[in-house]
Amino acid sequence: MAKIVECIPNFSEGQNQAVIDGLVATAKSIPGVTLLDYSSDASHNRSVFTLVGDDQSIQEAAFQLVKYASENIDMTKHHGEHPRMGATDVCPFVPIKDITTQECVEISKQVAERINRELGIPIFLYEDSATRPERQNLAKVRKGQFEGMPEKLLEEDWAPDYGDRKIHPTAGVTAVGARMPLVAFNVNLDTDNIDIAHKIAKIIRGSGGGYKYCKAIGVMLEDRHIAQVSMNMVNFEKCSLYRTFETIKFEARRYGVNVIGSEVIGLAPAKALIDVAEYYLQVEDFDYHKQILENHLLG
Amino acid sequence: MAKIVECIPNFSEGQNQAVIDGLVATAKSIPGVTLLDYSSDASHNRSVFTLVGDDQSIQEAAFQLVKYASENIDMTKHHGEHPRMGATDVCPFVPIKDITTQECVEISKQVAERINRELGIPIFLYEDSATRPERQNLAKVRKGQFEGMPEKLLEEDWAPDYGDRKIHPTAGVTAVGARMPLVAFNVNLDTDNIDIAHKIAKIIRGSGGGYKYCKAIGVMLEDRHIAQVSMNMVNFEKCSLYRTFETIKFEARRYGVNVIGSEVIGLAPAKALIDVAEYYLQVEDFDYHKQILENHLLG
């Protein structure tokens, strides 16, 4: 069976269509890799690509994209609303099929080493690839952004994992790492009181003492006049979607508020939803890998 | 994207290991086809094979298996508990990916025509391929079994869809058709009263006035001293698993009985369970084909 890995590089270009087209062409030129999706945001001046491929091809694709970005994006001229520190800002590898997170950590290190060796871009390993706890969180790694990186790299604790304490003059610094697939999952409430969504988000998220692998904020859906708990489920195997869903239901009840629906945004692995079905149907002894027909069809 | 079809031929041999091995070897010899599973039952004297492949290769595999069975199984000497009418008793084609049931009907007709033309076995089209309503149900088609087929084929309404009104002397008659994937789904009750499982099965199944695409019986799990409603969900798109599950729950309540768990037996398509997750999470506007990551990896 082929080991299948997803890679979601973020590039600091969301305006220049020629450069975006070049990234697309580069992604499509690598055999064994499929470009599932890409989206660009002009105000963020940033593009997010989603690729899948076998464990070897995905490394080549990631490298070639980082190379193209380093040759065509000049961070000294970059402006945008989204925090960023490099032409390729971040490049995560995600295990999809017949591969462990630990194997994706190894992939991330090999790609990181090659990027530094061939392109001279310093690399921080982050998330599950992080070499120390404070580097797990991308926000902490990126703090200071492109403009602050020359100084940050000289700080005692911030030597890059690969490369010298010196940014690439135009491509900056890149974070590379492995992480679990992320599921964007939002739960809608029958209230227009955003405070209730804020309160529920605060208690449900890991940083507020809730579920460790859930990130959550309260948002207002202006067009529908309803409040929403908007979540990133960063490890659906350790915290399934049903768990936050049921928790939001019983927490909302204290305010006399009901859950009226939910949204799964973008791509989700089949297992994230099949785990939910297993819970509600109280299925005994289900073997996802053996019993789901499609698992026998892939590669 | 490759069109993927499942084929589940049933052979009237569950005792002679040499013949079973020959069927396995035949299945494995066809490029583009994967033998997912096979199981033999000595008392039924019957073997069930599960294959998947692209829409062309699966036809070749089905034909070669029927050919091998016709050359190695002699129905005049067959004894077993399971009803049967041919060396290959039944050969259904099931749409799995990027293919419609209607396209599988066409596949079934092409294979049926070839089996008759090259091997001289008369064929009844059944299920979604049936040419008249009374031929949809396999039990009705097979009634009379191998021994009764010579006379049955002479009846006004029972001319085969392919071939003359005369059985193949040793291979009998075969039913070929297209159908939706079937999910074997059982719901366990916290009672040792089998009558309650019988009563619920009767009202939930199509033949009792319940859900058209649900077949159900009550069975006793002797080792656990509990009764079970055992179901075949024959079209999970028209009747999802959650619907029978919730119905069994509220019907059991009248007897003071609770649902304590369920079982999914064997293979199930991912969508059968993801539909369940969508229901319980109240997901709005979910697009299974676009949003499930694995759907972009196949073929």
Quickly list DSSP for B129-192.
Answer: T-SSGGGSSHHHHHTTHHHHHHHHTTSGGG--SBS-SS-BTTTB-EEEEE----EEEEEEES--
Residues A25 and A163 placed together within one structural domain of the fold: yes
Spatial separation of the C-alpha atoms in residues B231 and A71, rounded to whole Å: 61
Q: What angle do CA B20, B26, B30 make, to 5 degrees?
A: 150
B185 part of a folded domain: yes
A41 part of a folded domain: yes
Place of tokens 């580097």: A135
B297 part of a folded domain: no
CB proximity B296 to A under 8 Å: yes
Residues A35 and A159 placed together within one structural domain of the fold: yes
Domain end residue (candidates: A176, A191, A219): A176
- Residue A10 burial (CB < 10 Å; 0-12/13-18/19+)? buried
Q: Do A36 and B296 touch (CB under 8 A)?
A: yes
CB proximity B25 to A under 8 Å: no
Residues B74 and B198 placed together within one structural domain of the fold: no
B296 part of a folded domain: no
Amino acid A46: pLDDT: 94
Residues A111 and A252 placed together within one structural domain of the fold: no
Q: Is A169 annotated as a binding residue?
A: yes
Residues A267 and A216 placed together within one structural domain of the fold: yes
Strands B46-54 and B33-41: antiparallel
Tokens of B148: 């009764």
Phi, psi of B55 (to 5 degrees): -65, -20
Spatial separation of the C-alpha atoms in residues A249 and A242, rounded to whole Å: 10
Residues A17 and A142 placed together within one structural domain of the fold: yes
Spatial separation of the C-alpha atoms in residues B147 and A206, rounded to whole Å: 69
Amino acid A1: pLDDT: 57
A113 part of a folded domain: yes
Longest Cα–Cα distance in chain B: 59
Tokens of B266: 């064997």
Q: Is A164 annotated as a binding residue?
A: yes
Average pLDDT, chain B: 95
Tell me: the pLDDT tens digits for B80-89? 988 999 999 9
A233 part of a folded domain: yes
A91 part of a folded domain: yes
A86 part of a folded domain: yes
Find the closest chain B residue to A298 by CA distance: B298
For residue A126, the distance in angstroms to the closest alpha carbon of chain B comes to: 24
By Cβ distance, the residue of A34, A262, A283 closest to B283 is A262
CATH, residue A99: 3.30.990.10
Residues A165 and A194 placed together within one structural domain of the fold: no
Beta carbons within 10 angstroms of residue A296's beta carbon = 18
Average pLDDT (B22-48) is 94
Is the model's pLDDT at B1 over the cut of 60?
Answer: no
pTM for this model (two decimals): 0.84
Domain end residue (candidates: A122, A141, A176): A176
For residue B272, the distance in angstroms to the closest alpha carbon of chain A comes to: 9
Tell me: the pLDDT tens digits for A47-56? 999 999 999 9
By Cβ distance, the residue of A97, A261, A291 closest to B284 is A261
Q: Do A294 and B269 touch (CB under 8 A)?
A: yes
Domain end residue (candidates: A141, A176, A211): A176
Tell me: the pLDDT tens digits for B219-271? 999 999 999 999 999 999 999 999 999 999 999 999 999 999 999 998 999 99
For residue B210, the distance in angstroms to the closest alpha carbon of chain A comes to: 20
Residues B167 and B186 placed together within one structural domain of the fold: no
Q: Do B298 and A297 touch (CB under 8 A)?
A: yes
CB proximity B283 to A under 8 Å: yes
Q: A188: which chain B residues are within 8 Å (Cβ-Cβ)?
A: 284
Q: A181: which chain B residues are within 8 Å (Cβ-Cβ)?
A: 293
Residues B135 and B211 placed together within one structural domain of the fold: no
Is the model's pLDDT at B295 over the cut of 90?
Answer: no
Q: How many domains does chain B have?
A: 2
Amino acid A220: pLDDT: 93
Would you place residue B97 in the very low, low, confident or very high pLDDT band (cuts 50, 70, 90)? confident
Q: Do A242 and B285 touch (CB under 8 A)?
A: no
CB proximity B276 to A under 8 Å: yes
Amino acid A47: pLDDT: 95
Contact A248, A204 (CB under 8 A): yes
Amino acid B298: pLDDT: 60
Amino acid B276: pLDDT: 98
Amino acid B266: pLDDT: 87
The catalytic residue positions of B are 82
Which domain range does residue A114 map to?
A: 2-176
Buried residues in B82-120 as b, exposed as e (16+ CB within 10 A) = eebbbbbbbbbbbbbbbbebebbbebbbebbebbbeebe
Q: Is A128 annotated as a binding residue?
A: no
Residues B115 and B240 placed together within one structural domain of the fold: no
Spatial separation of the C-alpha atoms in residues A12 and A74, rounded to whole Å: 9
Residues A191 and A255 placed together within one structural domain of the fold: yes
Place of tokens 């449900």: A204
**What region does B285 belong to: left with phi over 0, alpha with psi -120 to 50, or beta?**
left
Average pLDDT (B40-63) is 95
Residues A119 and A85 placed together within one structural domain of the fold: yes
pLDDT in tens, chain A (299 residues): 579 999 999 999 999 999 999 999 999 999 999 999 899 999 999 999 999 999 999 999 999 999 999 999 999 999 998 899 999 999 999 999 889 999 999 999 999 999 999 999 999 999 999 999 999 999 899 999 999 999 999 999 999 999 999 999 999 999 999 999 999 999 999 999 999 999 999 999 999 999 999 999 999 999 999 999 999 999 999 999 999 999 999 999 999 999 999 999 989 999 999 999 999 999 999 999 999 998 887 65
CATH, residue A285: 3.30.70.670
Amino acid A79: pLDDT: 95
